[in-house]
Structures are given as structure tokens and as C-alpha cells.
Structure 1
Amino acid sequence: MRTVSRPRLLPLAVILVLAALSACSSTTHESTSNAAASEESWSFTDDLGRTVTLDRAPTRVAGVNDQIVPLMHYGLEPVASWGYSAIEDDARFDDLDTSGIEQVGTAYGEIDLEKLAAERPDVIVSEVYPTDEKGTIDTTQPDYGFKDLAQQKQVEAIAPVVTILLGGDGADVVDRTTELADALGADPGTVAKAKKRYDAASEALEKAATANPVTVTSLYADSDGVSVAKAQDDPALQLYAGLGVQFFEPKPEGYYWGNYSWENAGQVGGDMWLLQQAGYDSAQLKKQPTIAGNAALAAGQIHPWVSAALDYVSQADYMEQLAGWITDARTVTD
């Protein structure tokens, strides 16, 4: 459950910055999916149907880490970001030059508004997740990465927020993320090169899945038990499933996760596991009596489930790895 705290009052200097930024931009709500920029103005309609209009094309972009990574892969240089960890602890930034990025938050929901305002962003990029398999968006809750609606409104006073929906078909989300990068001035050559590699990685994964149809399980485990992801509810997993990867389907009902207590963890199947790194590792799993004898675990067919960003570069990286793991895996379950 989210807690709502009283908004922190901003100092006069920051208020003046916010006023200046608000004066040169406006946000309207429309139902169209996108709008083209012109020499005099710039506009973009996000996945919540909000059209952000500026009097010129934005050059200073800030946002949540998950959306900053794709922009950097497409040749853009964001000025500020925040996330659930520091940039140096986020492996997605390892091959990127982050020297020009001001970190304004290194824990979920913590954003230094004064630092963010000082970077004078023209636009801020955020994301939102659906709450059910129908793609419902809970408008009573803030976008991902914000502590609450009050904090999000303070950020929106600094610069207009563009929100990308991380739900539905994964290939569509990748394309949509690329559309935003293009609108923000991504280098066309960089994007074209990334798309070519993405297409090649997709083809390689499809060939691997066809040649060796092992069952893959994506899961998270901690002291409470094991949670198995439902591929149809995760855009990236849905992307891989569309290329032929067979995923283990958990029996427990619910959106996104099928949750197993440790008493029932022996029901989790699959020939190869993708293990989310935030939870238990293989050694810790082997200490759990109900799962220690699992065939995939015993065979050592355990690989990291990386929350790769939904852009051409990030997905190409992970699909290449996944194709290799599937090729090397063997069927260990009935």
C-alpha cells in the first residue's frame, strides 16, 4: 500500500525556475497516439493520451532510469535521472557514458526536486504499468518511480512528463520507446544499426526456440516462497514467447505472478530457469527442501532474468544470451 505524505515546500529559487519552465510549455489531453514536431514547436502524445506541447524541440531530457537507458542507447544525452538504485549499481548503464547525468534519486520514490529543477529539463520521461491482464491503468496511483501523486505533481511543475506504458505486446513497447527517442532527436544511424541487430537477435532466438523447445520458467524467490511470472503479462517475456520460446505456466491465479509457498514450491516446473537477481540465488534455492531436487536446479540450468530495458539494444543483448542458453539446455522434465 502506498503512503501519502505532505508535499515538501520548495525554496523560492526553485519556485522561480518552475515558473519559468511552466511558462514555455503546456500539456493537453488528446486521444491521438503521436504528433509531429515542426520548426516552431514540438509535441508528443504519450501512452496516457496526454499531448505535451513545447515551443521548441526539447534538448534537455530527464527521467526514470528505465527510460533513460533506451534514450542513451539511441544516442541521446539525458541531463538527470532517478531510480531504485544508484547508476553505478545498475548494470544496464555499464557500457554507457553517464558522466553528464545528474542523479536526483537513488532509491524508489526518492527524488531531489531542487537538483532536478536545477538541471532545467525540457521534458521528463516516465513509465506506468497496467494493474491487470486487460491493461487497466490505475489513475489514482502515480507513474512508476514516484512516491505518490503529490510528488509527481511537483515533478510535473518542473517540466511536462511523458509516460510510456509498459504493458501489452513487448514488440509494440519496443517500437513505442523508439518512437519517443526519435521524437526527442535520436541519431537515425544509431537507431537503424540497433534495429538491424535487434532483428538478427530475434531471428536467432526464434531459431533456437524451434530447434530446442525446452520449457523456460521466469521466477523470483525469497523467504516467502517462489513467484513465477506469467509470460502473457510481461512485455519482454511476451516478446520472447512470440518468437517461439515456451514458458512454464504457473497454476495459481492472479495477474502477472503465480505465487507458491515454500510448501508448494515443488510444483514449479520448467527445464531452464531465469532467476530474478533481486531475490534468492541458486545456492539459497538449494537450501530449500521442497525445491532442492528440482530438475532444472539439479541440472544447473539456471540463468539470470535481467530486467532489460525495452529498446533495440537492450533486447538484442538479452535475446542473444537467451538464444545461447536455450541452445545449450536439455529437456529435464516430462
Structure 2
Amino acid sequence: MRTALRRRLLPAAAVFLLAALPACSSSSSDSGSGSGSDAAKATESGWSFTDDLGKTVKLDKAPTRIAGVNDQIVPLMNYGLEPVASWGYSSIKDDARFDDLDTSGVKQVGTAYGEIDLEELAAQRPDVIVSEVYPTDEKGTIDESQPDYGFKDLDQQKQIEAIAPVITIKLGGDGADVVERTTEFAEALGADAKTVAEAKERYETASAALTKAAKDNPVTVTSLYADTDGVSVAKAEDDPALNLYAGLGVKFFEPKPKGYYWGNYSWENAGQIGGDMWLLQQAGYDTAQLKKQPTVADDAALAAGQVHPWVSAALDYVSQADYMEQLAGWITDTKPLDD
């Protein structure tokens, strides 16, 4: 489960594809991901975008019918775009990130990791499909022997690539950079400049508020996930969003166990976990279940009720502004507990 969580919290019948696929081509680029006008170009000769794996997708014209994994569809919708299909590790109605968005025009083609209705996806006639990939270590290494996140295996990914070109966004490293890259992709797809500008302004205001809250009340924050196997504490430097908050001054508890992304504690050792405030991943145990565990039941943060949701907020201006505003408020209200 922890491996799936690191990849945004997770984790053959014959496929009848449309006879006529969008006119497109995809080629590799040794230069890696681009930026600004170099990453996406819409000219009289067509449209192109170089993704974070160095793939350049070329179309006769700018794509308008977009499909993809929920994590990437949410940002596009926050910037005013209207995707045609989406899939993820839950249904849209159970994904709180879609709560304030009009999803009536989005066809849900998958509600569990790797389970995508390819025939239904093809029926939506997407021009491009957006997916994402996660590093496997601190160096940002991408395991090219594995499929992009959300795809069951490489065979399924190839079948999806036959429907429409896949554009891959890398989720790793500096969270602020990922937010910028996600926004750049939305702009390449035609996101309204005013909508993006307003979202960025709110994001910058929320960033400043979080910085002030962290400076005025320098408490220690612990981001964790718990289940029957024990407790996993996230390492802020390895999670793009937590990395973003740390860069704004938030102090995070550093787990002792070695490893990429997670510091894993057995329940016998869970009493070693500190922090003035806990951010609890909603996919695992809730606070009531934590209180039933003898080694953490008396933890100061838990006893003080200083436990808040750690949500998988999408990496775009709107989503991050929403969560940073909440985080700033929680930090302001948190009482220092550790010695």
C-alpha cells in the first residue's frame, strides 16, 4: 500500500478502438522537457508539446478533447478547460477535488487503479491523453520499465497510446516547479490567461500567508499514513507538495527510518513519532482508529486534537491555494507540544 501511496495514494478483453484516430505523431527528444514557448508550439503548421519524458507530441491543430488521470484532469478544470474523460483510483463523486467543478461533461472511464475501460475511452475521441510519472528515488530516477501512473501495465499503456498520444507530467522534486509545469501544460491547451493570472495571484497570497504562519508559530508538522501494518511518515523533501510547503518555511518532522519518501514504523515503534501537528492521510486509519493503538493513543498531538487531513491536493494554483490557506490556519491554531 505504501508504494501505491507514494504514487499519489492508490496503490484482457479485446479492445475495439475507433477506426479513425486523431491525426498525430509522437517522437522522442533528447533534450528532455521544455519550457515556455519551447515546450508547446501552436503555429500554422500545427501544435506540439514536449513532455517531461522528452516525448514530443505533434498534432495538426491544438487539441481540444483531453482525457487523462484524475490528478491531471483536476488542474485543467481549475483553469477552465473541459476534459472529455477521466479515470483514477476512485470515482469522481468520491474524489473531493472535483466537488466544486462541473463534471457533467467528463466521462468516467475508470474508478480503480489500472482499471480503465479502453473502449469507452476511445469512444470519447480524445486528441491527447495526459498521465503522470513518479521518481523512484531521491535522484529523481524514472523507471522506464514501468508504465505511467494509473496504467495497469505497459501493454495497457500501448493500447491507450493507440487511441491518442500520451503526454506525461513528472511529479517529483520541487513542488513549486511542478505547479508551474502543470500550469504551463494547461496554457498550452488554451487555458484562459485571465483565469490563470487570477489563480496565480491567489496562490501567491496563500503562499505568503503560509510563510507568515510558519514563522509566527514554528511548530513541527508530521505527515503520516497508518494502517494495520504500522505508520509511515512522509519525508517532505520527497513529496512535491510537502516540499513546496517546506520551501515556504513549514517545519516537518523528520522520520528516523531510512528509505525513499517514507519512514516506516511498526506499531511497536510508532511511539517514536513526534510533531506538534499531524496531517493524516485519509486513505488509511482515522483518528479514532489511531487512538485504539496503545503506542500512539497518548501522543500529545493526537490527545490535543491537533490532527488534520493530509489530502492529495492537485499541483495547480487553485488546488494548492485552497490547501495552503487551510494549512496556514491549522498552523496558526496549533499549540507547541514537543520539548
TM band (smaller chain): over 0.9
Partner of 1:37, secondary structure, is strand
Which of 244, 248, 254 aligns to 1:243? It is 248
Which of 61, 69, 83 aligns to 1:64? It is 69
Alignment of 1:130-169 (within 5 A): 130-169=135-174
In structure 1, C-alpha distance between the alignment counterparts of 2:118 and 2:102, rounded to whole Å: 24
In structure 2, C-alpha distance between the alignment counterparts of 1:211 and 1:65, rounded to whole Å: 36
In structure 1, C-alpha distance between the alignment counterparts of 2:44 and 2:86, rounded to whole Å: 28
Task: State the 1:108 CA deviation.
Answer: 0.7
The residue that corresponds to 1:29 in the other structure is 28
Partner of 1:36, secondary structure, is strand
The residue that corresponds to 1:188 in the other structure is 193
2:303 maps to 1:303: no
Alignment of 1:3-152 (within 5 A): 7-11=12-16, 14-17=17-20, 20-21=21-22, 24-30=23-29, 31-32=31-32, 33=34, 34-152=39-157
Partner of 2:143, secondary structure, is coil
Task: State the 1:15 CA deviation.
Answer: 4.8
In structure 2, C-alpha distance between the alignment counterparts of 1:35 and 1:314, rounded to whole Å: 23
In structure 1, C-alpha distance between the alignment counterparts of 2:322 and 2:18, rounded to whole Å: 42
Number of residue-to-residue matches in the alignment: 324
The residue that corresponds to 2:8 in the other structure is none
User: Unaligned 5+ residue runs, structure 1?
Assistant: none
Deviations 1:181-228 (A, max 9, x none): 000010111100000000000000000000000000000000100000
Greater than 2 Å deviation, 4+ residue runs: 7-11
Partner of 2:162, secondary structure, is helix
Q: Which amino acid aligns with 1:16?
A: A
Q: Which amino acid aligns with 1:258?
A: G
CA contact (8 A) 2:114 2:151 kept: yes
Q: Which amino acid aligns with 1:199?
A: E
In structure 2, C-alpha distance between the alignment counterparts of 1:107 and 1:290, rounded to whole Å: 33
In structure 1, C-alpha distance between the alignment counterparts of 2:238 and 2:66, rounded to whole Å: 29
Normalising by structure 2, we get a TM-score of 0.94
Partner of 1:53, secondary structure, is strand
Task: State the 1:160 CA deviation.
Answer: 0.3
Alignment of 1:210-289 (within 5 A): 210-289=215-294
Compute the RMSD of aligned alpha carbons: 1.2
In structure 1, C-alpha distance between the alignment counterparts of 2:43 and 2:80, rounded to whole Å: 21
In structure 2, C-alpha distance between the alignment counterparts of 1:127 and 1:295, rounded to whole Å: 38
In structure 1, C-alpha distance between the alignment counterparts of 2:111 and 2:167, rounded to whole Å: 21
Q: Which amino acid aligns with 2:176?
A: A
How high is the sequence identity, in percent, across the aligned residues? 78
The residue that corresponds to 2:6 in the other structure is none
Normalising by structure 1, we get a TM-score of 0.95
CA contact (8 A) 2:18 2:123 kept: no
Deviations 1:290-327 (A, max 9, x none): 11111111111000001000000000000000000000
